[in-house]
Chains A and B, each alone.
Chain A
Amino acid sequence: MGETLQPADSAQLREAVAWAVAREQALEIHGAGTKAALGRPVEAPCRLDLSALSGISFYEPTELVMTVAAATPLAEVTARLAQHNQHLAFEPADYGPLWGKGPDGATMGGVLACNLSGPRRIAAGAARDHFLGFQAVSGRGEAFKSGGRVVKNVTGYDMCKLMAGSYGTLAVLSEVTFKVMPAPETLCTLVLPGLSPSQAVDAMTAALQSPFDVSGAAHLPSAVAADFATGNNLGNSDSATVLRLEGPAPSVAARSTSLRQLLSPFGHCALLEDTDSQDLWRGVRDVVPFQNGKGLLWRISAPPSVGLVLAEQMAVRFGGRYFCDWGGGLIWLALDGEALTEEDASNGGALALRKALGERGEDLAGHALLLRAPQDLRREVAVFQPQSPELAKLTARMKQGFDPAGILNPGRMYDGV
């Protein structure tokens, strides 16, 4: 690692990027670095450290919006929101510990730039759905903005969507505005122990098709169920299929009765109250069973009806462990690299996994992200789902439009992007 630039404000940020453009000097964009090991390795001689761009500049609880400098810690944001009984509805996770880092490191800009959302994604939308506006410096060294400070806005292209999930490869965010929501008054969790994967899909589908506003639906196979803080309440050696209800107390009580009734064909159903429930969903959100691990970790988004079946199939094939969130639509699959066949190990299971993911036809396909892997493997294997030729062309041209010199996190997502 060469030198580090640490701009103190957005004007200095622009200056730093313009300097890098002139020197054709690649920059590694660094918020707090919690997800630095996510993506293809970035070969950049210079680090752009944004940590000085920090602080909440605007928060109006009744307007449901907050504006912060990009490197404001997520923890600071959530603490401030909590003072007004508000929260980030997309439930951003704390992924640092997945790479053995301490908790609570992430910055708000990093959270939005990676568009990774927690269990409430299925009910409240993703990070991208809450991203309202930003100020940024493009790879041209030009400051520009998009969006606004109000929750409803269609003026111009929705560039927030472009920034969300671009992993710092298009522009450096300096300030972000996002939507905040009232936090639910209370919550509870229904636990269905011992369901097979196919029963679990049926139970989660029934719950998500019901009018009872389920805000979390996960299946925790027996191999991981005990790893959650509430493990003892989850029935020890059995799998647990868990369903979350949130809202005003009388409503949660009524819905939990109705949902139990609906799910009675699936057998006995236990109930987790407020605190245990919170612990459990924090664990699901932060992928607790696979924290501090050295093994490979895949994050797979698939249509809910196929996710769990696919996960089971892959776990058997690779001898790995998994659990499902998003009603079956999100799979966390952990593989022990040493236990893989030589052929699978050479690509981290990517080939077999992506082949299986595409086997049900285009309509039922999804995408697989190799979230955690040693650097060498991330250099060799497509970390992000490979794209069709048409999409790859659009992606390359988009990169060209924002960062023609290729100086922002070059190669982090794809070759040259």
Chain B
Amino acid sequence: MRMPKPDAKILSRRAEIIEGLGEIVPPSSLITEEDALRAYECDGLTAYRQPPMIVVLPRTTAQVSLVLRYCRDNKVKVVPRGAGTSLSGGALPLADGVLLGLGKFNRILEIDYDNRCVVAQPGVTNLAITHAVEDKGFYYAPDPSSQIVCTIGGNIAENSGGVHCLKYGLTTNNVLGLEVVMMNGEVVRLGGRHLDSSGYDLLGLMTGSEGLLGVVTEVTVRILRAPQTARALLIGFASVEAAGDCVAAIIAAGIIPAGMEMMDRPAIHATEEFAHAGYPLDAEALLIVELDGPQVEVDHLIEQVGELAQEHDATTLQASENEAQRERFWAGRKAAFPAVGRIASDYLCMDGTIPRSRLAEVLGRIFGLSEQYGLGVANVFHAGDGNLHPLILFDANKPGDLEKVEKFGADILKLCVEVGGVLTGEHGVGVEKRDLMGVMFTEEDLNQQQRVKCVFDPDSLLNPGKMFPVLHRCVELGRLHVHKGEIPFPNLPRF
């Protein structure tokens, strides 16, 4: 993986740029010391590191606007950053760039129960939104595992999901409004407390745009009344096929569980050892199916899912009878990352989506690759929506392992695309999958996406080097290729 070559001219102007930014933000919002810069050198994809040229921590939208305009005028690149938990390197700094940290935007601005929404600054953590409304029985539905630390601004940029997004949707389905500052310093408000856009849905486009289109400075999200009850089933199977068939049967029966998570044998063993959740160690696949809603509904559906599990030869079947037991069922799954982190010195978390019907085949081939590369792998799987997280085990200090793990990861993602799936289900493209975009998209597909980028940031100064394998200049992309004279009167039915 290679980042764009640092611009020597910009680097040589560093002192002048610091001075320019110092006229916009107070000294407490400017980080320039080498040691302090190092704290920002990577995000959750720790394999790639690069301290930024300067860190700016603005406090107001007006400051963000002035910083961006200054950078635009001076051709300085900018990388936005929330909590830095991205697993695709979305917040990886640039050597010749400003890292724009949104950490000081940490206030909840308004809670509006009548319109069932919360207005928050982008640096507020995902979980803080739920905390702010839970005394009234509400919550914010998308729940990435990183929710204690990741920011709502980062969630917007990555369109993050969580174990409950099968029933409640990803971030994009739960955002009502945004305030965004574009690279030229202009501020736009998208959406609000009403539903749906008039005109092009720039709110939807901005969500999941990985910090390439604008900097989010205010967010309005929908909150939901918390379900009255939740119960979970823990179901073991003697084969991945049986587990996959059971998932399909649950959906065919018209049931959309709140969460439906699967783990393979290595993941079961790693998490059980770590969390002592009571997982069956003889199972080849383990399903956790959670149902939530009114008590009557949950009890009714728990019974139905239990019957389906039996029909699919479950080797273990337990239904939670109380909160403590439900939480115990989840304890292992929720600790999957640290658990795997304990059995290997490093791991890389992949994030492809596949048609669920191809699961057994895909896992089989991943094990084949695991043997071929000589690197272990454990799989956790958002089974309801086909989002697969293979965790590849490696040792970053061992020469050659990083290159091997990159190749292994790429092979897995190519496999996801080959079977009809996609490169990323919730973690984003970032730098990690950037060079694989061509596996899924043609040049014309990617050019059209870059034209969208050009609408917002024609000089490609905002988070460059992410998402697109090749950066074309906007002037070039804008040209209309007219085949004057070459196109015959089209040969098709006309009236």
- List residues of chain A with CB under 8 Å of any chain B CB: 3-8, 12, 15-16, 18-19, 21-22, 52, 60-64, 84-85, 115, 117, 121-122, 125-126, 128-129, 138, 140-146, 148-162, 164-166, 170, 181-183, 185, 205, 208-213, 247-248, 250-251, 253-255, 258, 301-305, 326, 329-330, 362-367, 369, 384-385, 387-388, 390-391, 394-395, 397-398, 400-402, 404-405, 413-414
Complex Cα distance, B494 from A3, in Å, reads: 7
Q: Closest CB-CB distance, B242 to chain A, in whole Å?
A: 15
Query: Quick check: is B158 within 8 A (CB to CB) of the other chain?
Result: yes
Complex Cα distance, B177 from A301, in Å, reads: 14
Query: Which residues of chain A are near B74, meaning CB under 8 Å?
Result: none
Complex partner residue of A156 from B248, B353, B467, CB under 8 angstroms: B467
Residue on B nearest A184 in the bound complex, by CB: B254
Q: Is the CB of B193 within 8 A of A364?
A: yes
Complex Cα distance, B486 from A165, in Å, reads: 34
Residue on B nearest A4 in the bound complex, by CB: B495
Complex Cα distance, B193 from A250, in Å, reads: 34
Query: Which residues of chain A are near B194, meaning CB under 8 Å?
Result: 301-303, 329, 365-367
Complex Cα distance, B420 from A149, in Å, reads: 7
Q: Is the CB of A125 within 8 A of B173?
A: yes
Q: Is the CB of A126 within 8 A of B422?
A: no
Q: Is the CB of A142 within 8 A of B192?
A: no
Known: A142-B448, A304-B115. A211 touches B425 (CB 8 A): no
Complex Cα distance, B198 from A414, in Å, reads: 11
24 CB < 8 A contacts A-B = A4-B495, A21-B482, A62-B248, A121-B196, A125-B173, A144-B442, A150-B421, A152-B161, A154-B170, A159-B449, A161-B172, A165-B199, A182-B251, A209-B225, A211-B137, A250-B297, A255-B294, A304-B114, A304-B116, A330-B195, A369-B198, A397-B454, A398-B455, A401-B448
Residue on A nearest B161 in the bound complex, by CB: A152
Query: Quick check: is B424 within 8 A (CB to CB) of the other chain?
Result: yes
Query: Which residues of chain B are near A210, meaning CB under 8 Å?
Result: 225
Query: Which residues of chain B are near A138, meaning CB under 8 Å?
Result: 448
Query: Which residues of chain A are near B467, meaning CB under 8 Å?
Result: 156
Q: Is the CB of A394 within 8 A of B456?
A: yes
Tally of B interface residues using CB under 8 Å: 110
Query: Which residues of chain B are near A213, meaning CB under 8 Å?
Result: 293-294
Complex Cα distance, B195 from A303, in Å, reads: 8
Q: Is the CB of A156 within 8 A of B254?
A: no
Query: Which residues of chain A are near B387, meaning CB under 8 Å?
Result: 152
- B250-289 CB contact bits vs A (8 Å, 1 = yes)? 0111111000000000000000000000000000000000
Q: Closest CB-CB distance, B174 to chain A, in whole Å?
A: 9
- B419-454 CB contact bits vs A (8 Å, 1 = yes)? 011111111110001000100111011111101111
Complex partner residue of B208 from A158, A364, A390, CB under 8 angstroms: A158
Known pairs A22-B486, A210-B225 / 16 extra A-B pairs, C-beta < 8 Å: A7-B493, A12-B492, A15-B492, A146-B445, A148-B421, A156-B445, A157-B205, A247-B297, A250-B296, A254-B294, A254-B296, A302-B194, A305-B112, A391-B188, A402-B451, A405-B480
Q: Is the CB of A394 within 8 A of B202?
A: yes
Complex partner residue of A125 from B169, B357, B451, CB under 8 angstroms: B169
Complex Cα distance, B300 from A255, in Å, reads: 14
Q: Is the CB of B226 within 8 A of A12?
A: no
Complex Cα distance, B127 from A325, in Å, reads: 31
Known: A155-B440, A156-B449, A250-B296. A117 touches B196 (CB 8 A): yes
Q: Closest 7 CB pairs between A and B?
A: A161-B204, A251-B297, A182-B254, A367-B198, A401-B451, A303-B193, A62-B248
Query: Which residues of chain A are near B161, meaning CB under 8 Å?
Result: 152
CB within 8 Å of A: which of B356-385? 356-357, 382, 385
Q: Is the CB of B444 within 8 A of A143?
A: yes
Q: Is the CB of B204 within 8 A of A164?
A: yes
Query: Quick check: is B227 within 8 A (CB to CB) of the other chain?
Result: yes
Q: Closest CB-CB distance, A232 to chain B, in whole Å?
A: 31
Query: Quick check: is B397 within 8 A (CB to CB) of the other chain?
Result: no
- B176-194 CB contact bits vs A (8 Å, 1 = yes)? 0000000000111110111
Complex partner residue of A150 from B386, B441, B446, CB under 8 angstroms: B386
Query: Quick check: is B28 within 8 A (CB to CB) of the other chain?
Result: no
Q: Is the CB of B385 within 8 A of A152?
A: yes
Query: Quick check: is B201 within 8 A (CB to CB) of the other chain?
Result: yes
Q: Is the CB of A152 within 8 A of B382?
A: yes
Residue on B nearest A49 in the bound complex, by CB: B495
Q: Is the CB of B301 within 8 A of A248?
A: yes
Known: A121-B195, A125-B173, A304-B114. A158 touches B495 (CB 8 A): no
Q: Is the CB of B449 within 8 A of A248?
A: no
Query: Which residues of chain A are near B227, meaning CB under 8 Å?
Result: 211
Q: Is the CB of A152 within 8 A of B196?
A: no
Q: Is the CB of B196 within 8 A of A301?
A: yes
Query: Which residues of chain B are near A390, meaning CB under 8 Å?
Result: 186-188
Complex Cα distance, B446 from A385, in Å, reads: 31
Complex partner residue of B199 from A151, A251, A384, CB under 8 angstroms: A384
Complex Cα distance, B300 from A210, in Å, reads: 21
Best-surrounded residue of A6, A52, A154, A305 (most CB of chain B within 10 A) = A154
- B113-126 CB contact bits vs A (8 Å, 1 = yes)? 11110010000000
Q: Is the CB of A157 within 8 A of B209?
A: yes
Query: Which residues of chain A are near B297, meaning CB under 8 Å?
Result: 247-248, 250-251, 254-255
Complex Cα distance, B113 from A298, in Å, reads: 27
Q: Closest CB-CB distance, B471 to chain A, in whole Å?
A: 14
Query: Which residues of chain B are near A404, meaning CB under 8 Å?
Result: 478, 480
Complex Cα distance, B201 from A128, in Å, reads: 9
Query: Which residues of chain A are near B170, meaning CB under 8 Å?
Result: 152, 154
Complex Cα distance, B301 from A360, in Å, reads: 44
Complex Cα distance, B490 from A18, in Å, reads: 9
Query: Quick check: is B12 within 8 A (CB to CB) of the other chain?
Result: no
Query: Which residues of chain B are near A205, meaning CB under 8 Å?
Result: 114
